[in-house]
A = this chain, B = another copy of it.
Amino acid sequence: MARGGRSGACGIDPVDEEGPVADGTTTAPVAAAASADRRPPARGSDFLQLDVGDAPVGGKADWLARRLRQAMADGRLAVGSRLPPTRMLAAELHVSRGVVTEAYRRLAEDGHVEGRRRGGTVVVAAPPARPAAPRGAGPCRGPAPVPVDRAGPGAPFAGEPGADAFDALRAAPARIDLTPGRPDLTAFPRTAWLRAERAVLAELSAENLGYGDPRGAPRLRRAVAAWLATGRGIRVEPDEVLIVAGTAQALTLLSPVLRADGIDGVAIEDPGSLGTRQHLRNGALATPPVPVDDRGVRVDALRATGARAVLLTPAHQFPTGVVTSGERRRELLLWAGDGGLVLEDDYDAEHRYDRPPAAALRASSADVCYMGSVSKLLAPALRIGWMVPPPRHRDALVDAKRFTDLGNAVLPQLALARLMESGGLERHLHLLRGRHRRRRDAMIDAIAEHLPGAVVHGAAAGLHLTVTYAPEVPDTELAAAALARGVKCQPLSWHRQAPGRPGLVLGYAAPPRGAIAEGVATLGEALRELA
């Protein structure tokens, strides 16, 4: 791929926004910038989450240029938007105006912005999230045929995936596990967790060992509220937080609540998580698909479904990795303002490698039902998550949680609260970011080597990437062949409702780099044999 330049649907491309997985079309960012009338007003350093304290000594201009590139990459500075006037930004950041001018000059040199006299400095092309060395690119291929025959040699991939698809895949013996959704579990902070448990057991009152508040332990709700404010831009009172046993439970709690509110379906992203779709359908909700393009879910298509609710992964779309653009965010918030309900599944937003995390949608609207968990921060086995529902659904969700299990177990809640309060969770996240980034890079390297015709999507954040490949081989067949060779992964088609290009969803966070390289090499062998 072209470093810092445009990248198309072919070649290795670790950028979310490039190479749309969903519909094969590409956007034309420069055209949008051509009309000055449509340009959003300049936004200041607050909106951009800039803090010059992060800048290295003597490297402020470089730092600022980098942060602005990140803001463009993740959509906070959409193509067509104006940068803040240099004088204003310099004042806000307490830096000299020369620092800002120099940063803007670098961006102009990169081709990302253009100076337009009275129009100010305008974003004309979003950069990729991380510079990557050029790699060999295979020939471009057309859209994939619909996989018809899914019956492969691996049983988990024979036929339509059932409710136990993930369990069956987990139970299948394999040498290397490249399924997505797990952080590096070898890094789980066992000592810190045990220390937190010890402190909790030492200080806990006997009453706290009884039946508790179904909304969760007050201390954890306070810690989560603080966590969401710091990391996700969501400012809520602890009483607005509901502790749940992960997002899977959140969806199950929501289903009857939504149905009671007259909502009989939840639109979902396509591609979008198979597990999410199964949960909603189990809750007797329809799941009309809405296509995802390189800016996120298509809000025009969402409106066309007539659905009153939509489930989204705006921070890092699953499985494509697209980060919802600023424009789409605004469209979504307009849709929500018209009475739509956004269910925001913020499953891995904290894992950013090449950019600061974009704020959650819930930060901009109380009409959003926010869901997060520690499954990708610490371990899925903890079964702790949280919801920040819209006020109108709060009481019904508390009732649903009470009936489901009377509330989460208390000891792990309090241990987690301590880990959040002490900064231990933040430190763990920092550690994970470094490890995950190295593993991601190892996977991208291995893909370039062993799957030369493949395109990588969504690698700028999260714990997984999606790779689309030469289309002749149905992905269930490829996944089955890989499993037969001892390598687990998920076929992209599991996560599709509409037909589309075949691919694999590969988790890079959990396995060590050697296993990643070996696993991807095995995928390459399997693909070559099948093709």
Residue in A214, A252, A381 whose Cβ sees the most chain B Cβ within 10 Å: A381
Chain B residues near A198: list those with CB within 8 A.
194
Chain B residues near A402: list those with CB within 8 A.
163-164, 167, 248
Contact of A411 among B182, B375, B382, B406 (CB under 8 A): B382
The answer to whether the Cβ of A213 comes within 8 Å of any Cβ in the partner chain is yes
The answer to whether the Cβ of A404 comes within 8 Å of any Cβ in the partner chain is yes
Chain B residues near A209: list those with CB within 8 A.
185, 188, 379-381
Q: How far, in Å, is A274 (CB) from chain B's closest CB?
A: 13
- A403 and B279 in contact (CB under 8 A), knowing A211-B181, A380-B209? yes
The answer to whether the Cβ of A246 comes within 8 Å of any Cβ in the partner chain is yes
Contact of A282 among B210, B383, B403 (CB under 8 A): B403
Q: How far, in Å, is A181 (CB) from chain B's closest CB?
A: 7
> Do A201 and B193 touch (CB < 8 A)?
yes
The answer to whether the Cβ of A166 comes within 8 Å of any Cβ in the partner chain is yes
Q: Which residue of B lies closest to A205 (CB)?
A: B185
Chain B residues near A510: list those with CB within 8 A.
206, 210
Chain B residues near A89: list those with CB within 8 A.
none
A206 vs B184: C-alpha distance when bound (angstroms) = 8
> Do A404 and B201 touch (CB < 8 A)?
no
Q: Which residue of B lies closest to A412 (CB)?
A: B409
Chain B residues near A206: list those with CB within 8 A.
185-186, 188, 510
The answer to whether the Cβ of A197 comes within 8 Å of any Cβ in the partner chain is yes
> Do A252 and B404 touch (CB < 8 A)?
yes
Chain B residues near A245: list those with CB within 8 A.
245, 404-406, 409
Contact of A167 among B194, B201, B214, B278 (CB under 8 A): B214
A17 vs B264: C-alpha distance when bound (angstroms) = 51
Chain B residues near A364: list those with CB within 8 A.
none
Chain B residues near A405: list those with CB within 8 A.
245-246, 248-249, 252, 383, 404-405
A343 vs B375: C-alpha distance when bound (angstroms) = 34
- A208 and B381 in contact (CB under 8 A), knowing A164-B402, A402-B164, A412-B409? yes
The answer to whether the Cβ of A212 comes within 8 Å of any Cβ in the partner chain is yes
Can you pick out 24 interface pairs between chain A and chain B where the beta carbons lie within 8 Å of each other?
A164-B402, A167-B214, A167-B402, A185-B210, A186-B206, A190-B201, A190-B202, A193-B201, A194-B197, A206-B510, A210-B380, A210-B510, A211-B375, A211-B381, A245-B404, A248-B406, A252-B405, A278-B403, A279-B403, A282-B399, A380-B406, A382-B410, A404-B405, A409-B409
- Given A170-B210, A185-B206, 5 extra CB contacts under 8 A: A185-B209, A194-B194, A208-B381, A382-B411, A404-B405
Name A residues whose Cβ lies closer than 8 Å to a Cβ of B.
Answer: 163-164, 166-167, 170-171, 177, 181-182, 185-186, 188, 190, 193-194, 197-198, 201-202, 204, 206-214, 245-246, 248-249, 252, 278-279, 282-283, 375, 379-384, 399, 402-412, 510
10 closest A-B pairs by CB: A381-B410, A245-B405, A209-B379, A185-B206, A383-B409, A185-B209, A249-B405, A190-B201, A186-B206, A209-B381
